[in-house]
């Protein structure tokens, strides 16, 4: 394990993870809003926001799947040291982290069962940009409509159609994050 | 704040587990997410579920309010407030508008909540079908199959026996047209307020369930076309502040049948009296008169 993997975590884990979770919860409760987070400096190519989510939500109980460029020794060592999360193939993971293209196809991830829809994967999607514009969103947490630049609105709409089953998404870019739970219905032109 | 405890009492691994359950709960509104509820330093029935949810969502900068049936000064509310003052070092308030996180037992504050506020409910029995079907394996299937006929039979039997739906609290709602949810034992007067701007989180410690309503989530009280849902309250005005739209508690004042009706929401009532409203038995408001 490289020495670099030992740094870049929270310096005050209880307080910083509490603030980070507040941002993550606000994002999940209000799809389309963009929240700023801080406190983690993960190795490239992982974004600060994805690093903060990893430190806040991952531990030994959550198998994680790293997709594509993120599946490198630096990121693996960093996640292992700071969270203890085991690595798993995508069909067994609780969390998956990667760019949209690397995470595809969505088939195979756990979408929960009709009796336990919560037993589903959460995908942390590293985005080239994150703006509150683009696809129109409707659903719980949204007063009228919201907007977000989704990577693939049609695929997200298909995921929403599985409700109450389905995948939940965090979208990350730099130190910003947004979320798209399965309950959100993206408008597909 | 006591240095002997981790921030907000719970260890970080427990908080992560609860936080993951909260996120899934928000993603599936009205669905009860199982979680590994911990022993808390208070008995079951005193809000251990709400306390664990609050511990997982509090940040050091928050101001917290705790109410029990609308009151800030009852034993349960006071002890939970002190618990978080000691273990999380958060500021506390009795004013609804000043609070970031409000933990509640069996009421929704009268004052509408804002987008930046979080309401945490203490839930005794999270399963709305439990008194109709005691087996968890069966109620879980009923939720999976969206088989809620039994609940409508229960409400129908209310009508056939009493001439009206007599369920007065813990009145079931259907969330976003999918899950039937127990809104905890709030009076049905509060049911229309479930569609609000704040995030609502429900924690049941003994029963080990967490569920949630994101802001503006549709929560429709179950009813029939010919017996529509009615958000009822005592047909009276508050005797202290004169408000005739708030939810009222009936208080026995002597042993000769004397009684008065007062707002259940003590902060709301005090605020109105401070503004000069006086009820039938009220006296002019004085600061710290209580």
Q: Once rounded to an integer, what is the mean pLDDT over residues A36-47?
A: 96
**Residue B222 at interface with chain A, using a CB cutoff of 8 Å:** no
Does the pLDDT at position B4 exceed 70?
Answer: yes
Q: How far apart are CA B250 and CA A86, in angstroms?
A: 57
Q: How far apart are CA B75 and CA B85, in angstroms?
A: 15
Q: How far apart are CA B122 and CA B110, in angstroms?
A: 18
pLDDT at B10: 97
Q: Are A107 and A38 in contact (CB under 8 A)?
A: no
Q: In DSSP terms, which residues pair with A185 in a beta bridge?
A: A138
Q: Are A27 and A35 in contact (CB under 8 A)?
A: yes
Does the pLDDT at position B199 exceed 60?
Answer: yes
Q: How far apart are CA B82 and CA B105, in angstroms?
A: 16
User: Which chain B residue shows the shortest CA-CA distance from A58?
Assistant: B16
Q: How far apart are CA B275 and CA B240, in angstroms?
A: 12
pLDDT at A55: 98
Q: Once rounded to an integer, what is the mean pLDDT over residues A99-104?
A: 97
| Cβ neighbours, 10 Å, residue A72 | 15
B-interface mutation test, from A30, A63, A112, A118, most B Cβ less than 10 A away: A118
Within-domain flag for A188: no
pLDDT at A2: 58
| Cβ neighbours, 10 Å, residue B161 | 9
Average pLDDT of every residue of chain A: 96
Residue A124: which CATH number? 3.40.50.11310
- Nearest one of A43, A35, A45, A38 to A68, comparing CA atoms: A45
pLDDT at B112: 97
Does the pLDDT at position B289 exceed 70?
Answer: no
pLDDT at A4: 82
pLDDT at A1: 54
The phi and psi torsions of A169 (rounded to 5 degrees) equal: -120, 140
pLDDT at B284: 82
Tens digit of each residue's pLDDT (9 = 90 or more) over B66-77: 999 999 999 999
The phi and psi torsions of B136 (rounded to 5 degrees) equal: -60, -40
pLDDT at B267: 96
Within-domain flag for A114: yes
* Start-to-end Cα distance in chain A: 48
**Residue A115 at interface with chain B, using a CB cutoff of 8 Å:** yes
Within-domain flag for A49: yes
ipTM over 0.85: yes
pLDDT at B283: 83
- Nearest one of A65, A87, A79 to A4, comparing CA atoms: A79
| Residue A98: band (very low, low, confident or very high) from pLDDT cuts 50, 70, 90 | very high
pLDDT at B182: 98
Q: How far apart are CA A156 and CA B64, in angstroms?
A: 37
Residue that wins the pLDDT comparison between B1 and A48: A48
Q: How far apart are CA A67 and CA A100, in angstroms?
A: 9
| Residue range(s) defining the domain that contains residue A179 | 3-183
pLDDT at B125: 96
Average pLDDT of every residue of chain B: 95
B28–A183 C-beta distance less than 8 A? yes
Q: How far apart are CA B289 and CA A168, in angstroms?
A: 51
Burial of B6 (0-12, 13-18, 19+ CB in 10 A): middle
pLDDT at B100: 98
Q: How far apart are CA A53 and CA A70, in angstroms?
A: 15
Q: How many domains does chain A have?
A: 1
Does the pLDDT at position A3 exceed 90?
Answer: no
Within-domain flag for A189: no
Q: With the C-alpha atoms ordered B17, B18, B23, B27, is the resulting torsion angle positive or negative? A: positive
Using a CB-CB cut-off of 8 Å, the residues of chain B touching A26 are 199
User: Which chain A residue shows the shortest CA-CA distance from B18?
Assistant: A57
pLDDT at B1: 74
- H helix count then E strand count, chain B: 6, 12
Q: Where are the alpha helices (DSSP H) in chain A?
A: 13-29, 48-57, 73-83, 100-103, 153-160
User: Which chain B residue shows the shortest CA-CA distance from A170?
Assistant: B23
Q: How far apart are CA A34 and CA A23, in angstroms?
A: 9
What is the set of domains in chain B, with CATH numbers? 12-220 (3.40.50.11310), 233-281 (no CATH)
**Residue A15 at interface with chain B, using a CB cutoff of 8 Å:** yes
Q: Once rounded to an integer, what is the mean pLDDT over residues B207-211?
A: 97
| Residue B288: band (very low, low, confident or very high) from pLDDT cuts 50, 70, 90 | low
Within-domain flag for A51: yes
Tens digit of each residue's pLDDT (9 = 90 or more) over B155-192: 999 999 999 999 999 999 999 999 999 999 999 999 99
Q: What is the pTM of this model?
A: 0.96
Q: Once rounded to an integer, what is the mean pLDDT over residues B240-256?
A: 95
**Residue A19 at interface with chain B, using a CB cutoff of 8 Å:** yes
List the single range of A55-59, A124-128, B250-254 with lowest mean pLDDT. B250-254
CA dihedral defined by B21, B22, B27, B32, rounded to 10 degrees?
Answer: 70
The SS3 assignment for B49 reads helix
Q: Which residues of B have a catalytic role annotated?
A: 30, 238, 241, 263, 269
Tens digit of each residue's pLDDT (9 = 90 or more) over B183-196: 999 999 999 999 99
- Residue B179 is inside which H or E element, if any? strand B179-181
Tens digit of each residue's pLDDT (9 = 90 or more) over B109-155: 999 999 999 999 999 999 999 999 999 999 999 999 999 999 999 99
């Amino acid at each position: 394990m490289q020495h670099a993997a030992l740094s870049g975590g929270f310096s005050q884990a209880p307080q910083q993870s509490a603030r980070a979770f507040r941002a993550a919860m606000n994002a999940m409760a209000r799809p389309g809003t963009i929240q700023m987070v801080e406190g983690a400096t993960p190795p490239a190519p992982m974004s600060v926001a994805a690093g903060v989510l990893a430190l806040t939500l991952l531990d030994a109980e959550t198998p994680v799947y790293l997709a594509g460029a993120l599946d490198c020794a630096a990121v693996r060592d960093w996640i292992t040291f700071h969270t203890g999360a085991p690595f798993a193939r995508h069909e067994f993971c609780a969390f998956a982290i990667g760019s949209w293209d690397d995470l595809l196809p969505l088939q195979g991830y756990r979408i929960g069962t009709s009796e336990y829809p919560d037993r589903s994967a959460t995908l942390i999607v590293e985005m080239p940009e994150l703006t509150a514009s683009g696809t129109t969103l409707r659903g719980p947490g949204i007063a009228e409509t919201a907007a977000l630049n989704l990577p693939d609105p049609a695929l997200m709409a298909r995921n929403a159609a599985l409700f109450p089953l389905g995948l939940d998404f965090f979208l990350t870019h730099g130190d910003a994050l947004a979320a798209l739970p399965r309950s959100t219905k993206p408008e597909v032109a | 704040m006591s240095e002997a405890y981790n921030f907000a009492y719970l260890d970080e691994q427990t908080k992560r587990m609860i936080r993951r359950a909260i996120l899934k709960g928000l993603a599936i509104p009205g669905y009860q997410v199982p979680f590994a509820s911990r022993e808390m330093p208070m008995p079951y029935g005193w809000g251990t579920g709400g306390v664990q949810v609050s511990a997982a969502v509090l940040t050091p900068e928050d101001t917290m309010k705790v109410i029990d049936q609308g009151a800030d000064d009852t034993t349960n509310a006071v002890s939970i407030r002190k618990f978080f003052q000691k273990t999380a070092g958060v500021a506390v308030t009795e004013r609804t508008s000043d609070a970031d996180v409000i933990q509640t037992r069996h009421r929704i504050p009268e004052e509408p909540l804002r987008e930046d506020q979080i309401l945490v409910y203490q839930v005794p029995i999270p399963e709305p079908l439990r008194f109709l079907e005691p087996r968890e394996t069966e109620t879980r299937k009923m939720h999976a199959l969206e088989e809620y006929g039994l609940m409508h039979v229960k409400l129908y039997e209310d009508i056939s026996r009493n001439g009206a739906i007599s369920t007065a609290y813990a009145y079931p709602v259907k969330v976003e047209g999918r899950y039937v949810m127990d809104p905890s034992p709030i009076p049905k007067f509060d049911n229309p307020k479930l569609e609000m701007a704040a995030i609502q989180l429900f924690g049941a410690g003994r029963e080990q369930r967490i569920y949630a309503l994101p802001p503006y989530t549709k929560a429709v009280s179950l009813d029939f076309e010919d017996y529509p849902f009615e958000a009822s309250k005592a047909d009276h005005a508050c005797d202290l502040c004169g408000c005739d739209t708030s939810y009222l508690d009936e208080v026995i004042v002597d042993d000769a049948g004397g009684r008065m009706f007062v707002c259940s929401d003590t902060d709301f009532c005090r605020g109105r009296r401070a503004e000069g409203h006086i009820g039938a038995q009220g006296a002019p408001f004085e600061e710290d008169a209580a």
